[in-house]
A and B are shown apart, each in its own frame.
Chain A
Amino acid sequence: MNGGGGPTSAEVRGRHVEPRVAEVLDRKLVNRPTGPYAARTDVEVEAALHRLMAAEGLKDVLIGGLKRLAGGASKEQFAFTLSHGGASGSERMVLRMDPLESIAETCRLREAQVLRAMQGIVPVPAVRFVDPEGVHLGQPGAITSFVEGVTKPTAISATGVSGIGLRYGIWADLLAPQFVENLVAIHNADLQAMDLSSFAKPAAGTREAALFQVGWWARVWHEDHSESVPIVTLTERWLRENAPVCAAPCLVHADYRIGNFMFEEPSGRFVAVLDWELAHVGDFHEDLAWVVQRLFGTIEDDGTFMVCGLLPREKFLAQYQALSGRTVDPATLHYYEVLNAWKCSVLNQGPAVRAAMAGNNHQDLLLTWLSGSSAVFHAQLVDLLKER
């Protein structure tokens, strides 16, 4: 037996969810029946911005050039120009606002804290305003500076949503070194110097780093899924039973990949690392395992798998180790490859489908479309679990 009198499955599920994450997930359950949600109109967004600016004490506020930004299955995004009585000029900014439910229910306060912590470490937009509970905006939101740049070379077209499947061609040589350097900079940043008060930090030398992630996404799955997927259930069990010890937790981006960084043309210089909403304190292997996922990579004509379309897997891992001074443990990397494939399954078949069923997202159609990729992750889980 695995321990007669041990914890029940319900007890196991309730463990290891960070307090702020639990608050956000609680809020989602409260909000769920208040839908359906409609994509915000320009008029609504402008009014919401005026309410927020008034609450911030700004006078003579002018909002101009309001434009919805394309993409984003998770948040509604708008660019606008703000001018007000206390400023000599105007500034272009970006509003990221939660729909009623999304594929990833996350916290704008945590995102803002990480963005502030990363200033000067990697290129990130500057945080201007945060409305974590949506008191003024109507929905939780954060406003950052607008960064000029592109997420894909303008001369190359992406083959899928979110830039996935993109082949960078000649740009790879310019972008790949920066891609690795920035990841190393995130992981090597001094956690003690950061204000991450809305984060729970897993204790060094324990299994908490892994179990916090299993706890988070297991709760999401159990509250959101509408149909059982036996491989997802089995994987959750495996993840709890095999969680590795993390010697030294660090900041983990948790969605570091193709499509989530911006660069200038023609220099290729990185100008922003984007989409920090899933960031947390955890094990660096988690980011490495995310980066090397099959879905984010491409296969060259000679059959070589290119991590995020940029460089071969072994080269990526070797460069990361050389630059970071860290040693990649293959078993831990494997564990996080399992965790990430499981998390992607959870996201695509849990909250994505649930939000779309209730009509609670601004892109219900995109969410149901993305759910069609779930089996890719199930197949990956089979392959990964057979390896052990």
Chain B
Amino acid sequence: MLATIQTRIDNLMKAMQQVVLPALPADAALAREQAQLVIGHLSVIAQQWPRAAAYEAGNLEGLKSLGQALVQAGAGGPETGKAVTGVQARLEVSTDTADVVALQADLVALGYSIDRLIEAAGVDGTPDFHAASTNAVLVHAERQALRERIWCAGTHLDPDVAKLPPFESLFSR
């Protein structure tokens, strides 16, 4: 049997921790810091990679919900009208949810079309759409920010990391 991705990541971390890092001179500050960052990244990647497709699929689902809410409320002048059409077109695209690269490409394309609509609401959107777009983005952002904080909890950059739900909660329905 071939070595699994997980085994190879574990081996990389072991080599960095037990061979490379101890061999670096104490005053090689940048090299030591980089070595520690390599170990840190590998540790986070080890947790994330098996779930990457499921995570991105969840992100896309959330962004599509935002797109649908914005299209539903979208009303205003020509900028808004054009931007609504752009989001509608992206919402009709179906994606292979097992393909991380395809999911990421869809997230980018749909995200840009949503950007245009949020901006358009500020240019010639009706007051009602302006308010609705704010609310819809806040609802999406609250959920998405929590997802990303959990996804990146392994970096320990989040000052409230101890209060975050467990990693696996991202994938429970």
Task: Enumerate chain B residues within 8 angstroms of A2, measured Cβ to Cβ.
Answer: 121-125, 127, 130
Task: Enumerate chain B residues within 8 angstroms of A9, measured Cβ to Cβ.
Answer: 79, 116, 119-120, 122-123
The smallest beta-carbon distance between A141 and chain B, in angstroms, is 17
Per the 8 Å Cβ criterion, residues 133-150 of B in contact with A are 133-134, 137-138, 140-142, 144-149
| In the complex, A39 has a CB within 8 A of chain B | yes
A69 and B152 in contact, given A228-B108, A234-B137, A373-B157 (Cβ under 8 angstroms): no
Instruction: Evaluate contact between A228 and B146: CB separation under 8 angstroms.
Output: no
* Minimal Cβ-Cβ distance residue in A for B35: A365
The CA-CA distance from A240 to B111 in the complex, in Å, is 21
Task: Enumerate chain B residues within 8 angstroms of A4, measured Cβ to Cβ.
Answer: 77, 124
* Residues of A within 8 A of B (CB-CB), count: 52
Interface 1/0 per residue, A372-385 and B, CB below 8 Å: 11111011011001
| In the complex, A67 has a CB within 8 A of chain B | yes
The smallest beta-carbon distance between B38 and chain A, in angstroms, is 7
Instruction: Evaluate contact between A382 and B141: CB separation under 8 angstroms.
Output: yes
| In the complex, A368 has a CB within 8 A of chain B | yes
Instruction: Evaluate contact between A369 and B134: CB separation under 8 angstroms.
Output: no
The smallest beta-carbon distance between A4 and chain B, in angstroms, is 5
Per the 8 Å Cβ criterion, residues 1-27 of A in contact with B are 1-4, 6-9, 12
Among A69, A299, A362, A373, the residue within 8 A (CB) of B158 is A373
Task: Enumerate chain A residues within 8 angstroms of B160, measured Cβ to Cβ.
Answer: 376
Report the stretch among B8-16, B25-33, B92-100, B165-173 that lies at the interface.
B25-33
> Beyond A1-B125, A160-B157, A378-B141: 16 further Cβ-contacts under 8 Å?
A9-B120, A227-B107, A228-B107, A228-B110, A230-B115, A230-B118, A231-B145, A234-B141, A363-B30, A363-B34, A365-B37, A365-B41, A369-B157, A372-B152, A379-B146, A382-B141
10 intermolecular pairs with C-beta atoms under 8 Å apart: A1-B124, A2-B130, A6-B124, A8-B123, A231-B137, A231-B140, A234-B118, A363-B30, A368-B41, A372-B44
Q: Residues on A close to B: CB < 8 A?
A: 1-4, 6-9, 12, 39, 67-71, 160-161, 165, 226-231, 233-234, 237-238, 240-241, 294-295, 297, 299, 362-363, 365-366, 368-370, 372-376, 378-379, 381-382, 385-386
